[in-house]
Amino acid sequence: MAVINGTNFLLKKGGTEIGHTTSASLSLSVDTPDATTKSSGGFQEVIAGTISGEISFEGLVDFADSNENAEELGDTLLARSEVEYVFEGGATGNQKWTGNGYISSLEISSEAENPVTYSGTVVLTSTIVQADIA
pLDDT digits (tens, 9 = 90+) for 22-77: 888 889 999 999 999 989 888 999 999 999 999 998 888 877 776 667 788 888 89
| Residue 19 confidence (pLDDT) | 65
CATH number of domain containing 81: 2.40.30
- Mean of the pLDDT values across residues 72-99? 82
Domain coverage including residue 116: 2-34+43-132
Total number of domains in the chain: 1
Indicate the pLDDT class of residue 1, thresholds 50, 70 and 90: very low
Residue 51: closest CA among 133, 122, 128, 108: 128
Dihedral sign, Cα of residue 128, residue 11, residue 109, residue 6? positive
- Mean of the pLDDT values across residues 6-16? 71
| Residue 7 confidence (pLDDT) | 59
What share of the chain has pLDDT > 90, as a percent?
Answer: 34
What share of the chain has pLDDT > 70, as a percent?
Answer: 86
Q: How far apart are CA 114 and CA 108, in angstroms?
A: 13
